[in-house]
Structure 1
């Protein structure tokens, strides 16, 4: 351990000083070294190791989830495959939902640091997936209050309680419906900086593409130009295009994805006429809506609705 500490510029003597502090970069660098040394992404904290690559392939399985609720549901299944110490349980109750780590009675009790790191990982990855730091109503831990309990306020955006029935975070249920907007190139950068981006979650500024999408949704059926949107978001048109490019998207792509997602929801969940859907999305005719939708999905709206319809009279 002394050799690993020295490699990241941490004096081993600091371990004996209760008031000693490290930078986030030092801690993250040390964590990466320990993961490599232990061959375990949760360094020997659980009964089975999470081999390097577990987080990458977990995140890959979450990227195409339509929203955070689906992503967390998938994650619960992946964790069940990878370890035996706990299950990830998501209670989507309104208006506050609970994301909990339920320890297995058949396994050895989880160490407090193991529960702490796993909950931090879930909060950090969930925040990253939707591109905004998720505020927490409160955080519960099943272990007793430690001497350094006050430090938790710097790690969790919400009040922290100890000696609770289970370890869990509580958040507004609306966050579960927020879409997953990350891409594989963004995942590579996220993993390269790990654990900084999930352990020390910041996301001080919401993604401009998300703000743009929400603004465009409020304006429908009116269709806006990039100049209109830039003025409403208080940035120049040039800045709008530049920042959208940095986020891996464009004005037209954000607009198309918004209208595509709304169209898919209406086609599969309602029986609204095509002409009404086209008008609500700002198209000047049903024909132009048909052309755009086929370009987005490869199918006409009618074919897509037929595939998504519930079975009738035994037919699929």
Structure 2
């Protein structure tokens, strides 16, 4: 077995491992073999502040799901046999958008168990995936809630092939002793003792198309737990956000530092994520400038010098040179369709 990397950060609370052990006990089974596979010593379970790595969590979860034949890991009164969550993902593959896919996910999940109810809603430009507890989950409340929400988020990111940054997380239970782990689990401030549990994100992500097929699903299912234990990196909506900011908020996009600050990113992260999308800040700037210039040339009679300034050029000469490079024609010739 591969040993976890020494550089892996142990940030998953031992309480989640203990919850899986509790599921074994309830079924009259011995968790020893699963703990060994995950390289977790029984002594660690008696240390409330102990942590395990994401890889150990993945190993333990997979072993427990197979041995218990329960992908819900004991959360619900009825088992969810191995393959249940794969079936949920498959049912969402043909959706035209992420919003439709997530709505299907919630509806089909509710058919598998009536212990919780998942719903998708939108308000004030935000999408909310809500978890309502219909049956008392007791000792499994925290582990179930966190796992289901993170799994739904991981599936959403995978379906759209996009990182979906959360804007808020609310949880129904009280803050646990390992509350510091939640900055890693959800990457936003978490509010506890809420009326119900939910996470929120920009509703614009719901319009993203589904980018996966059956072949991709088969590959993903080989290590599906990665969706739950590790964050997704790629952000498909970032390019559109950058383009919109360049067009609508030129004062906040004079340079990479200003633009990154407006988008709540570091300049390094902005450039890296754009590169992952096959884009660059300069290319997007040129695209927005071109679209602005073309619109003003065709829609108005403003002088070329004024259009150059509104498109973000310091002088008319540089604008004309750039425009001819884009279209092969001068601005005047383009305006008059010469």
Tell me if TM exceeds 0.5: yes
* Preserved contact between residue 168 and residue 201 of structure 2 (Cα < 8 Å): yes
* Aligned residue in 2 for 1:108: 136
- For residues 132 and 121 of structure 1, the distance between their equivalents in structure 2, rounded to whole angstroms, comes to 15
SS at match of 1:123: helix
Per-residue deviation, 1:125: 0.6
Matched positions, count? 217
Q: 4+ runs of 1 displaced by more than 4 Å?
A: none
Mind listing any 5+ residue stretches in structure 2 that lack a counterpart?
A: 1-30, 244-277, 281-338
Alpha-carbon distance change, 201 to 21 in structure 1, aligned in 2, over 3 angstroms:
same
- 1:4 paired with 2:34, answer yes
* Aligned residue in 1 for 2:203: 173
- For residues 2 and 53 of structure 1, the distance between their equivalents in structure 2, rounded to whole angstroms, comes to 24
SS at match of 1:89: strand
| Larger CA Rg, structure 1 vs 2 | 2
Per-residue deviation, 1:49: 1.2
Give the TM-score taking structure 2 as reference length. 0.59
Per-residue deviation, 1:207: 6.7
Mind listing any 5+ residue stretches in structure 1 that lack a counterpart?
A: 216-231, 235-316
* Aligned residue in 2 for 1:191: 221
Per-residue deviation, 1:206: 4.3
* Preserved contact between residue 128 and residue 198 of structure 1 (Cα < 8 Å): no
Give the TM-score taking structure 1 as reference length. 0.63
SS at match of 2:166: coil
Per-residue deviation, 1:8: 2.7
* Preserved contact between residue 96 and residue 170 of structure 1 (Cα < 8 Å): yes
Alignment of 1:1-316 (within 5 A): 1-104=31-134, 107-109=135-137, 111-203=141-233, 205-206=234-235, 233=279
* Preserved contact between residue 121 and residue 198 of structure 1 (Cα < 8 Å): yes
SS at match of 1:193: coil
- Over the residues paired in the alignment, what is the CA RMSD in angstroms? 2.8
* Preserved contact between residue 6 and residue 12 of structure 1 (Cα < 8 Å): no
* Preserved contact between residue 143 and residue 162 of structure 1 (Cα < 8 Å): yes
CA displacement, residues 281-310 of structure 1 (integer Å, 9 cap, x when unaligned): xxxxxxxxxxxxxxxxxxxxxxxxxxxxxx
* Aligned residue in 2 for 1:270: none
Per-residue deviation, 1:61: 0.8
SS at match of 1:132: coil
